[in-house]
Amino acid sequence: MCRTRSWRVVIAGLVVALPLLGCESAPPALAWTDCGQLVPDGGDKFDVGCTTLAVPLDHNAAGKTISLKLIRIRHRQQTDRIGSLLINPGGPGASGVEFAGGFVTRASEDLLKRFDVIGFDPRGVGESAPVRCNDDVDLDRALDFNEDMRAPATRAVIENELRRVTASCKARLGDSAQFFNTEATARDMDLIRSAVGDAKLTYAGFSYGAKLGATYAHLFPGTVRALVLDAPSFPLVDDNSTAERQLRGFEDAFDQFARDCATRPSCAELGDLRALLTDLIAQAKTRPLTHENPDDRRRTSGGTMMFGVMSALYDNARWRPLEDALRLARQGDGTTFFDLADAGTGRRRDGTFPNTFDASFVIGCNDGAVVRNDDEVASTAVRWSGEFPLFGGYLAHGLYGCRFWDVPRHPLVRPDAPGAPPVLVIGTLHDPATPYQGAVDLTAALGTGVLLTWEGEGHTAYLRSPCVDRVVDDYLVNVTVPEAGRRCPA
């Protein structure tokens, strides 16, 4: 049938749909090649295949294509197959191919026996035409930068670094830079749906993946079967408001950690955790913490510690390692802080990074990130440092955002989805990264959204709460929509 989005942002884990030109031809059959090594815990349970799919660089013009990397994980005892379940872990910039292996080790057997699980690296990410702007030394240095953003000299350093990063991205991407954006990826998802043979899309997206799923519902409401949007932010909240919601979320999450710490003698002996962390960072500026591995020559003067704390607050399962990190840091050992930070960044043992940060920067800027002037940056840095004493100063380094990104942008629009079936939106009450209000706002904007609330802590809820898992699995398998106002206890 014819159918006529900073330097710190790089580091932080940093319209009406136009018609397609011409006619779409039937997608070619995908040739899957065994890649079972990507699911090391799969054993004899799954058949694992990988392939690539060619998609247009520009969905509104014929011509150049790029290749997307896909993985398919199929249970060998599959029965009553429904179709494919497309998944995305978030970012923007996270690899869905890498995520899929972990997903199937945590998802229920009932779900896995009904769907092929399809993971994909979105355009610009992983092995799908990857965006590269920084080298690994630059990223290590930027992660640990923790100078006072209220000082003009600090702002000058960050501005110069942002000029360098922006110029590097633009030079490497050339005229293709503008086509790495959320709308284009949502259109790629519809081509994936068609290529795997599904008439309608079944999808689970986490964090930014939820925003991506909402964009798909807006563009293609008629091809939605079931969408799970877990831990979304609201696309139309301005960058300052989004950042301030996150700052409040991280401040609240640290307090949740501190209250839990006070209930355990081994942790309670650390005393006032806010004061301890503040003192440790101040001390590290003159006596940087080291790694116990002599081959790891990194030193942290505070920034990596902050990133490690934020990484730990994503999941209360990391609260014990955070306790250990604080205890060891009092002895001058930063190993556990480095480990927590590496878990959040994906930094490998050999010191290399995935391209998550570069992709996040480019996609975020292309999606229409705000540009602030010098006075706005300075005044906001002062306000954040006062209102958010632990995290405001560190995250203020991202205030310059996309200031020098003069590439044509593709701003996200209100993701209403009239004509789509009910879409399941999940919000966690104590989510630091995408605070709960984002799920409330997105549910209302979709028009067909149904909100499920988890009264827990951390980032995302599905596969972390048995109650949430039961609701989601029933929705994905049977398209059973939970009653309005459904809540799951922590």
Q: For residue 365, which phi and psi values (nearest 5 degrees)?
A: -70, -40
DSSP 8-class letter at 204: E
Show the domain range for 269.
264-345
> How many structural domains is the chain composed of?
2
Tokens of 358: 């570069």
Sign of CA dihedral 280, 282, 283, 284: positive
Query: How far lies 259's CA from each of 125, 238, 249, 272, in Å?
Result: 38, 32, 15, 10
Query: How far lies 402's CA from each of 3, 140, 150, 368, 393, in Å?
Result: 34, 21, 19, 9, 19
107 in the same domain as 185: yes
Last residue of a domain, one of 299, 316, 345: 345
Last residue of a domain, one of 328, 345, 362: 345
303 in the same domain as 203: no
Strand ranges (DSSP E) for 359-471?
423-430, 449-457
Helix, strand and coil in the chain, % to nearest 5: 45, 15, 40
144 is catalytic: no
CATH of the domain at 432: 3.40.50.1820
188 in the same domain as 68: yes
CB atoms within 10 A of CB 259: 10
Query: How far lies 249's CA from each of 90, 206, 218, 242, 437, in Å?
Result: 18, 17, 28, 11, 11
431 is catalytic: yes
Q: Is 380 a member of any domain?
A: no
Q: Which of 6, 95, 207, 360 is catalytic?
A: 207
Q: How long a stretch of residues is the chain?
A: 490
202 in the same domain as 120: yes
Q: Which of 431, 441, 469, 473 is catalytic?
A: 431
pTM for the model stands at: 0.90
Task: pLDDT tens for the chain, 490 residues: list them.
Answer: 333 333 333 333 332 222 233 344 455 679 999 999 888 777 689 999 999 999 999 999 988 999 999 999 999 999 999 999 999 999 999 999 999 999 999 999 999 999 999 999 999 999 999 999 989 999 999 999 999 999 999 999 999 999 999 999 999 999 999 999 999 999 999 999 999 999 999 999 999 999 999 999 999 999 999 999 999 987 776 777 888 999 999 999 999 999 999 999 999 999 999 999 999 999 999 999 999 998 998 999 999 999 999 999 999 999 999 999 999 999 999 999 999 999 999 999 999 999 999 999 999 999 987 788 899 999 999 999 999 999 999 999 988 889 999 999 999 999 999 999 999 999 999 999 999 999 999 999 999 999 999 999 999 999 999 999 999 999 999 999 999 899 999 9
280 in the same domain as 227: no
Does residue 92 have a cis bond before it (omega within 30 degrees)? Answer: yes
Q: Is 363 a member of any domain?
A: no
Last residue of a domain, one of 345, 365, 381: 345
Q: Is 411 a member of any domain?
A: no
208 in the same domain as 125: yes
User: How far, in Å, CA of 352 to CA of 374, rounded?
Assistant: 33
299 in the same domain as 188: no
CA 175 to centroid of chain Cα atoms: 26
231 in the same domain as 123: yes
Q: Which of 459, 465, 469, 473 is catalytic?
A: 459
335 in the same domain as 204: no
